[in-house]
Structure 1
Amino acid sequence: MTSGNSERPTASDHEPAGWHASEKRRDEARVEWPTLLVTAAIYVGWLLLTAEAHRLPPALVVLAGGWLIAWHGSLQHEVIHGHPTRWQGVNTLIGAVPLSLWLPFVVYRRSHLGHHATPAITDPFDDPESRYLAFDRSQLGRMRHMAERVQATLLGRLLFGPAIMVGRFLAGELAGLIRDPIGRARDWLPHLAGCAMLVWWLDRCGIGFASYALMFVYPGLSLTLLRSFAEHRAAPVPGHRVATVERAGPFALLFLYNNLHVAHHQRPGLAWYQLPDYYRQHRERLAYDNGGLVYSGYGDVVRRYLLRGHDRLVHPDHAHSDRP
């Protein structure tokens, strides 16, 4: 891993004007057809799979259902960043369909944009998507530490992470409902209306709520957690906190090239299908900028972390005392 250098030219010093023009063209374009094709594949695939699930082997339903839920999460991520049209209302309609049931799209959007906005990525007080803990002697703090320890390894994250993540999120939303009932109602009522329609369709297809949660949602969240497991790491240099997984194979399409995470953070306005070309053109600089935090593929991540923690559980800036 290389170290940072304040004299090293920044991303903007090296970027040709063409990339900024590309983003401008995307903003002016009416639609991004590759993303609309992915949208159609996800929603048509989900309808066909749920309609025919009773005819298919359960293992195939789990594989295809998990893939579609994870793929839909990747699509929602694209929508949050202003794709695939220049009309936010249309984009929201595309992304807000609650296939995973548990996460309102507006909550995800607010959290993820906060993640990109903070200069303190990975800090548990400033980054809403941080997985790190802060020093906490309380009973609640010990419970949080225990939950994170269970899913510290990649195997633990894949097996137990979805249940812990959903449970913690819903507990937080319930606490928020007490503090701000109007705000939570604004977030949840449209989402619950969409969930009601999905549950009605699933009932028509003979799929119970528990079966859908176990065969679609849980494996889908596990795939998503594979992507996010090692994509950030606490480091003194801000640019060294964002990783890259280079050769992702079929997971590249599943994650819509978000495996090239440092490229996405430097150019969050680029559409997913533009990221590989951007990464190829700037690979050496991007690897320098992120301190060499590069994995050859998800097999590399599995080999390193299947039975070993990716990093310490407590953030190094908050390891010894409570935040003032």
Structure 2
Amino acid sequence: MPNYLDVAQREEILQLQQTFTGRTEWPTWLLLIGVYPSWFAVLLASPRLGLWPSTALLIPIVTLWMSVQHELLHGHPSRFVWLNKLMGYAPFAVWYPYTLYRDSHLLHHRDEDLTLPGVDPESRYFSRRDWPNRSALVRAVQRLNKTVPGRLLLGAPLGLLGLAREEGRRLWRGERQAWLMWLSHGSLTLLMLAFIAHYSVIPVWHYLLLISVPALSLGALRSFYEHRPSALPEQRTVLNEAGWPWRWLFLNLNLHLVHHDLPKLPWYFLPRVYRARREDWLARSGGYLVKGYGELARRHAVNVVDSPQHPFA
């Protein structure tokens, strides 16, 4: 646990972890039991449901699946890395292999490197040296990506372009790990798409472009203003007091500072730990508070949330 926690806070968290829920992690097991059958059930029922109702159901299911994968890579509900990998490898979201997401995200949890371009793998900023050298078109696109509508429209495509560029380089260099990862992920994805084509009314192209990409866009909304540049690492991570549909979809990752400080704490304990000492968390974050995604949408429908150029990197 972080050193800044006092004895009472440590005791509160240890008590939570020793409860029946903390020891068995049954909420996460229940999630896994629910998400897998839900995905299959919607596809198999799609001939009766129709194309667009099935699409409307699958987008949040795939988004929730990505949140479940995030829990798995942090060691929930099993303490066995191989078992969590096995449970999380299903390519429902198509584009990101589980192990690639796991390894890059764990690097992102080095809080002293948060937001630093070229160091934090999830940074959305450019260095002061790099930004002026970008073309006018790139700068305009990146500024648009700093608004909520732009993030929903461009966040997923920009992320996929970055993924293709980085992983293409690894494959071109002949990195064995990259080839094995993409061959295994690609094989499973092809099997999944064959299942979709055979047992559902959803065309493969429709699933790729109109289900998986919108699901990525919803995930991009969560990370839209998740971090900011700050001299103090603990003030770089947001506390977003989102409403229940978003809290459920993102498994409470809106309380992102709590998660970064306590990455081994499961999703269902994050709100309880936050509410118990809300003022302490707000002070630690330096007042980095957002009152829900509706507030973000109102404030940044047109106005950029911050500059794409990192202020001190």
What is the TM-score when the length of structure 1 is the normalising length? 0.88
Structure 2 counterpart of 1:173: 167
1:83-122 superposed Cα distances (whole Å, 9 cap, x missing partner): 0112222211111111111101111001100000241210
Query: Aligned letter for 1:233?
Result: R
Task: Using the TM superposition, give the Cα deviation of residue 141 of structure 1 relative to its aligned residue in structure 2, in angstroms.
Answer: 6.9
Task: Using the TM superposition, give the Cα deviation of residue 57 of structure 1 relative to its aligned residue in structure 2, in angstroms.
Answer: 4.6
Structure 1 SS opposite 2:112: coil
- CA–CA distance in 2 between the matches of 1:104 and 1:141? 31
1:5-57 superposed Cα distances (whole Å, 9 cap, x missing partner): xxxx933466232313544779994x421111111221111111112223335
Query: Aligned letter for 1:115?
Result: H
Paired residues, number: 309
- CA–CA distance in 1 between the matches of 2:95 and 2:144? 22
**Residue 104 (structure 1) aligned to one of 91, 97, 105:** 97
**Residue 246 (structure 2) aligned to one of 243, 246, 251:** 251
User: Percentage identity across aligned positions?
Assistant: 32
Query: Aligned letter for 2:203?
Result: G
Task: Using the TM superposition, give the Cα deviation of residue 188 of structure 1 relative to its aligned residue in structure 2, in angstroms.
Answer: 1.3
Query: Aligned letter for 1:86?
Result: R
Task: Using the TM superposition, give the Cα deviation of residue 152 of structure 1 relative to its aligned residue in structure 2, in angstroms.
Answer: 1.9
Structure 1: tracts of 5 or more residues without a match: 1-8, 319-324
Does the 8 Å contact 1:147/1:164 carry over to 2? no
Structure 2 counterpart of 1:124: 117
Greater Cα offset, 131-140 or 45-54: 131-140
Does the 8 Å contact 2:146/2:224 carry over to 1? no
Alignment of 1:209-288 (within 5 A): 209-288=204-283
- CA–CA distance in 2 between the matches of 1:21 and 1:152? 41
1:65 aligns with 2:63: no
1:203-256 superposed Cα distances (whole Å, 9 cap, x missing partner): 112432211023311221111111110111111221111001113221111100
What is the TM-score when the length of structure 2 is the normalising length? 0.91
Query: Aligned letter for 2:152?
Result: L
Query: Aligned letter for 2:43?
Result: T
Structure 1 counterpart of 2:186: 192
Query: Aligned letter for 1:121?
Result: L
Structure 1 counterpart of 2:12: 18
Structure 1 SS opposite 2:43: helix
Task: Using the TM superposition, give the Cα deviation of residue 296 of structure 1 relative to its aligned residue in structure 2, in angstroms.
Answer: 1.3
Does the 8 Å contact 1:133/1:145 carry over to 2? no
Structure 1 SS opposite 2:113: coil
Query: Aligned letter for 2:113?
Result: A
Does the 8 Å contact 2:105/2:122 carry over to 1? yes
Task: Using the TM superposition, give the Cα deviation of residue 58 of structure 1 relative to its aligned residue in structure 2, in angstroms.
Answer: 4.2
Greater Cα offset, 245-254 or 55-64: 55-64
- CA–CA distance in 2 between the matches of 1:178 and 1:186? 13
Alignment of 1:31-110 (within 5 A): 31-110=24-103
Aligned alpha-carbon RMSD (Å): 2.3
Does the 8 Å contact 2:131/2:309 carry over to 1? no
**Residue 176 (structure 2) aligned to one of 166, 182, 197:** 182
Q: Kindly report structure 1 stretches of 4+ aligned residues shifted beyond 6 Å.
A: 24-28, 137-143
1:115-135 superposed Cα distances (whole Å, 9 cap, x missing partner): 002412101122111111123
